[in-house]
């Protein structure tokens, strides 16, 4: 079976095997060694010398953690939704009583940085910009480096949803100056779902010190305090950390630049192949995601029927989201994925639309 | 190796094996069948026909979820701490801006229900009582049935930390009228850590509808809405659910009454055996926990040294908490534990204190 949704992704055998280990004491030396190894390898992959914190929870939990740790009720943030998940991020901020100013882009387009600049210019009290690096619903990648440059000019932090791109795409957190970057284990990390990982910049720590939103579970200060001795404030998801540790070893053995290049090659392979058999990508080439491709079904064909037919042939792809439920489908190509895997997906896709 | 801390507990081979399965689509039929099976079996074990919700997170996350979903800032709650974890529950409530009135008991004693009644009498505006059924730091079990009876008389809800007892001890949620009961996968459920499970009564749902504390990740309404079609609002911890599902099958094959009786027998075995070799339990017999026993080390011996010596002999027990760090140790006996396991622990304990 080929599981090619935008996460969870298939797990390498080594990761599955790593999870097949007995429980250990989460206050003992064996656990502390794992926690240190995982943390240091995450810092390497995030390209940061700052803190990376790991919480038991999904990526959505990571987004909530960022909001609860950095802000106080009534703080103004600018959100840059370009699809369903950017909208979710804005909604979390609203639920936490932030004053959310949306600078949206139509589905299929990237974050509009000119409008970001004019919004910041007219609202200089803005605390932060919330932006997705890789919008999973449309397969669009936004320009985080430029967004940070603009936001920092106006004294705003940048909180980046990198859930479905970090680990697969070059996001040099320190060099770009990203304040908080959030990711999750079941995406490019080719690990099982249930862990979210966040980087925290010095400026984000300063904002955190003043942030009044309620938090206990997600509290960055507590997480960092326990991490001084490579522990966690409460029971960690031990099995998932076994798996993530092994994943991080696999990723670093392959080498980050090679992992990034593989994802770029595969993205191009998916788009070229899909176009050849009558599909049209949502995203223009220059902003195309390296980890997920959203495609319009060929004229006159139902995307839902295609997804169903693919499933019967053993290839699981995702449907379109929101209003694109009937017209689009999405292929995940992150983490544990090879050119041969993509060949299979494209062959089956061709067979299905040929006979559909 | 014998891992006998109060969670994580050892995993049965079947549970480890279940987790050794590939990822699946969390929006597909195979996942929905798992989610339905897990939910229905949890309802059976919680002895409720009401809702049981599962979140990716630790037990502490479950406590936070209960607070964030039931209350508004400034609400008055009475907390009944009898040890470190009851204190943590009160602290979470304070972090969420509740007005927390503590009715504490000394370590080693159960919740003081007479004082609960007088507190409720003098503060009839109290929204809820926060109480631990099983205090993991002291091995004490409080009388939840009576606490509910008293609290409901004054119109207060009862939110029960049953993290380390639900599944091992008879807690008939519906019959007693518990409003929210919280547990976690790595305790009596003999599954891997990273899932928290909560029951929600009708009265708790009514309170939830008016509760203004910010929440998105833990939101009960969203969780219930997705559960209508046996899905979750965001990516669930698939591997951990594989494991929990298998655990629940094992528990129900053994039969709940048998599981409860086994835990009671083992509790008695631990206490009798420990006393014979010079240890003194914290908790009097009539309030002794069925899942964890805290013991004072024999006169003149260091509990820390005993824990270290035990570890060298392959038996992992936990140290004392707080001010009992040097004088006490704790033995976990929940979930996947047999009389033979306890024999090993007691034999090694005897060997260690004999030669210490």
- Give the model confidence (pLDDT) of A178-209 as tens digits: 999 999 999 999 999 999 999 999 999 999 99
Q: Is the pLDDT of residue A355 over 90?
A: no
Contact (CB<8Å) A9/B23: yes
Interhelix angle for A29-46 vs A238-254, to 10°?
40
Residue numbers in A near B20 (CB within 8 A): 16-17, 19-20
The vertex-A320 CA angle with A314 and A325, nearest 5°, equals 110
Q: What is the pLDDT of residues B204-255, one digit of tens each?
A: 999 999 999 999 999 999 999 999 999 999 999 999 999 999 999 999 999 9
Q: Which residues of A312-344 are buried (b: 16+ CB within 10 A; e: fewer)?
A: eeebbbbbbbeebeeebbbbbbbbbbeeebbee
Contact (CB<8Å) A316/B64: no
Between strands A134-135 and A292-296, the pairing is unpaired
How far apart are alpha carbons B26 and B232 in whole angstroms?
8
- Determine the 3-state secondary structure of A159 from DSSP: strand
Non-local CB neighbours of A62 within 8 Å, separated by 6+ positions: A55, A163, A182, A183, A184, A196, A197, A198
Non-local CB neighbours of B118 within 8 Å, separated by 6+ positions: none
Contact (CB<8Å) B192/A239: yes
Rg (CA), chain A: 20
Facing residue for B239 by CB, picked from A19, A60, A318: A19
| Residue in chain B nearest A23 by alpha carbon | B10
Residue numbers in B near A91 (CB within 8 A): 216
Residue numbers in A near B311 (CB within 8 A): 28
Residue B323 — pLDDT band, cuts 50, 70, 90? confident
User: What percent of chain A stands above pLDDT 70?
Assistant: 99
The overall average pLDDT reported for chain A is: 97
Residue numbers in B near A214 (CB within 8 A): 68, 73, 95-97, 213-214
The alpha-carbon gap from B175 to the nearest alpha carbon of chain A, in Å, equals: 31
How far apart are alpha carbons A245 and B281 in whole angstroms?
39
**Which residues is B128 bridged to in the sheet?**
B77, B157
Contact B236, A192 (CB under 8 A): no
At residue B355, the pLDDT reads 59
Token pair belonging to A60 = 């959505």
CA dist list (Å): A297 to A98, A226, B10, B13, B53: 38, 50, 49, 45, 37
The alpha-carbon gap from B57 to the nearest alpha carbon of chain A, in Å, equals: 5
- Determine the 3-state secondary structure of B284 from DSSP: coil
Nearest to A219 by CA among A61, A41, A58: A61
How far apart are alpha carbons B1 and B8 in whole angstroms?
14
Contact A266, A258 (CB under 8 A): no
How far apart are alpha carbons B46 and A189 in whole angstroms?
35
Contact (CB<8Å) B57/A186: no
Contact B306, B352 (CB under 8 A): yes
Contact (CB<8Å) A193/B238: yes
* Alpha helices (H) along chain A: 13-19, 29-46, 59-70, 84-95, 113-122, 144-153, 173-176, 202-210, 220-227, 238-254, 256-276, 303-312, 339-355
**Which residues is A318 bridged to in the sheet?**
A330
- Pick the range with the lowest mean pLDDT from A212-221, B141-150, B289-298, B347-356: B347-356
Q: Is the pLDDT of residue A348 over 90?
A: yes
Match 């659910």 to its residue by tokens. B241
At residue A178, the pLDDT reads 98
Q: Is the pLDDT of residue A78 over 90?
A: yes
pTM: 0.97
Contact (CB<8Å) B239/A239: yes
Q: How is B216-264 classified by DSSP, letter by letter?
A: STT-HHHHHHHHTTT--SS---HHHHHHHHHHHHHHHHH-HHHHHHHHH
Q: What is the pLDDT of residues A281-290, one digit of tens each?
A: 999 999 999 9
Average pLDDT over residues B106-123: 97
Nearest to B23 by CA among A240, A241, A10, A345: A10
Average pLDDT over residues A12-18: 97
Contact (CB<8Å) A216/B58: no
Facing residue for B26 by CB, picked from A8, A215, A236: A8
| Residue in chain B nearest A308 by alpha carbon | B28
Q: How is A293-339 classified by DSSP, letter by letter?
A: EEEEPPTT--HHHHHHHHHHTTEE-EEP-GGGTTTEEEEE--SS--H
| Residue in chain B nearest A235 by alpha carbon | B58
The alpha-carbon gap from B166 to the nearest alpha carbon of chain A, in Å, equals: 17
Facing residue for B60 by CB, picked from A234, A239, A318: A234
Q: What is the pLDDT of residues A118-145, one digit of tens each?
A: 999 999 999 999 999 999 999 999 999 9
The alpha-carbon gap from B321 to the nearest alpha carbon of chain A, in Å, equals: 12
The overall average pLDDT reported for chain B is: 97
Contact (CB<8Å) A316/B184: no
Facing residue for B186 by CB, picked from A5, A92, A235: A235
Q: Is the pLDDT of residue A263 over 60?
A: yes
At residue B182, the pLDDT reads 98
> Burial level of A195, CB count in 10 A (0-12/13-18/19+)?
buried
Contact (CB<8Å) A58/B235: yes
At residue B250, the pLDDT reads 98
Facing residue for A25 by CB, picked from B11, B59, B316: B316
What is the Cα B47 distance to its own chain's centre?
A: 16
| Residue in chain A nearest B97 by alpha carbon | A214
Token pair belonging to B192 = 């891997």
How far apart are alpha carbons A129 and A143 in whole angstroms?
13
Contact A211, A71 (CB under 8 A): yes
Contact (CB<8Å) A17/B17: no
* DSSP 8-state code for residue A5: S
B-interface mutation test, from A239, A242, A316, most B Cβ less than 10 A away:
A239
A-interface mutation test, from B35, B235, B316, B334, most A Cβ less than 10 A away:
B235
At residue A356, the pLDDT reads 47
> Burial level of B42, CB count in 10 A (0-12/13-18/19+)?
buried
Facing residue for A238 by CB, picked from B8, B28, B215: B8
Residue A12 — pLDDT band, cuts 50, 70, 90? very high
The alpha-carbon gap from B352 to the nearest alpha carbon of chain A, in Å, equals: 20
Residue numbers in A near B21 (CB within 8 A): 16
Contact B196, B58 (CB under 8 A): yes
Facing residue for B216 by CB, picked from A27, A95, A233: A95
At residue A54, the pLDDT reads 98
Residue numbers in B near A21 (CB within 8 A): 16
Contact (CB<8Å) B22/A3: yes
3-state helix, strand, coil in chain B (%, to 5): 45, 15, 40
Contact (CB<8Å) A10/B26: no
Facing residue for B19 by CB, picked from A20, A186, A318: A20
Residue A11 CB neighbour total at 10 angstroms: 26
Interhelix angle for A113-122 vs A144-153, to 10°?
20
How far apart are alpha carbons A231 and A189 in whole angstroms?
22
At residue A100, the pLDDT reads 98
Contact A184, A48 (CB under 8 A): no
Nearest to B91 by CA among A125, A175, A234: A234
The vertex-A113 CA angle with A111 and A114, nearest 5°, equals 135
A-interface mutation test, from B18, B186, B216, B232, most A Cβ less than 10 A away:
B216
Residue numbers in A near B23 (CB within 8 A): 3, 8-11, 186, 192-193
| Residue in chain B nearest A214 by alpha carbon | B96
| Residue in chain A nearest B5 by alpha carbon | A25
Residue numbers in A near B92 (CB within 8 A): 216-217
The alpha-carbon gap from A240 to the nearest alpha carbon of chain B, in Å, equals: 8
| Residue in chain A nearest B98 by alpha carbon | A214
Facing residue for B235 by CB, picked from A3, A193, A217: A193
How far apart are alpha carbons A26 and A13 in whole angstroms?
25
Residue B356 — pLDDT band, cuts 50, 70, 90? very low
Backbone angles phi, psi at A151, to 5 degrees: -60, -45
Residue A323 — pLDDT band, cuts 50, 70, 90? confident
The alpha-carbon gap from A153 to the nearest alpha carbon of chain B, in Å, equals: 31
How far apart are alpha carbons A172 and B166 in whole angstroms?
45
Nearest to B165 by CA among B300, B339, B287: B287
* DSSP 8-state code for residue B9: P
Q: Which ipTM did the prediction report?
A: 0.97
Backbone angles phi, psi at B138, to 5 degrees: -125, -10
**Which residues is A197 bridged to in the sheet?**
A54, A183
Q: What is the pLDDT of residues A96-109, one digit of tens each?
A: 999 999 999 999 99
Q: Is the pLDDT of residue B161 over 70?
A: yes
């Amino acid at each position: 079976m080929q599981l090619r949704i935008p996460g969870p992704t298939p797990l390498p055998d080594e990761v599955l095997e790593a999870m097949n280990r007995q429980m250990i004491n989460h206050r003992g030396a064996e656990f502390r060694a794992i926690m240190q190894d995982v943390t240091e390898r995450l810092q390497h992959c995030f390209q940061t010398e700052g803190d990376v914190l790991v919480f038991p929870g999904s990526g959505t939990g990571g987004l909530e953690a960022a909001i609860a740790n950095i802000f106080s009720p009534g703080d103004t943030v600018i959100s840059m939704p370009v699809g369903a998940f950017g909208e979710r991020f804005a909604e979390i901020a609203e639920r936490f009583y932030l004053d959310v100013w949306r600078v949206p882009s139509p589905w299929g387009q990237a974050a509009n940085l000119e409008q970001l600049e004019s919004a910041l210019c007219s609202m200089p009290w803005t605390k932060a910009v919330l932006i997705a690096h890789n919008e999973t619903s449309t397969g669009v990648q936004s320009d985080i480096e430029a967004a940070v440059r603009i936001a920092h000019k106006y004294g705003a932090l940048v909180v980046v949803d990198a859930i479905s791109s970090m680990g697969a795409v070059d996001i040099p957190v320190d060099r770009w100056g990203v304040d908080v970057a959030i990711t999750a284990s079941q995406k490019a990390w080719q690990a099982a779902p249930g862990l979210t990982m966040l980087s925290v910049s010095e400026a984000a720590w300063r904002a955190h010190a003043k942030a009044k939103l309620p938090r206990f579970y997600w509290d960055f200060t507590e997480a960092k305090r326990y991490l001084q001795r490579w522990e966690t404030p409460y029971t960690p998801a031990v099995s998932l950390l076994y798996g993530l540790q092994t994943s991080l070893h696999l990723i670093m053995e392959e080498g980050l630049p090679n992992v990034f290049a593989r994802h770029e090659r595969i993205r191009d392979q998916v788009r070229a192949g899909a176009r050849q058999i009558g599909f049209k990508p949502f995203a223009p080439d220059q902003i195309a995601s390296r980890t997920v491709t959203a495609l319009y079904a060929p004229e006159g064909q139902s995307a839902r029927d295609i997804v169903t037919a693919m499933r019967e042939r053993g290839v699981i792809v995702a449907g379109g989201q929101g209003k694109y439920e009937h017209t689009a489908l999405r292929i995940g190509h992150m983490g544990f994925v090879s050119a041969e895997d993509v060949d299979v997906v494209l062959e089956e896709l061709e067979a299905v639309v040929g006979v559909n």
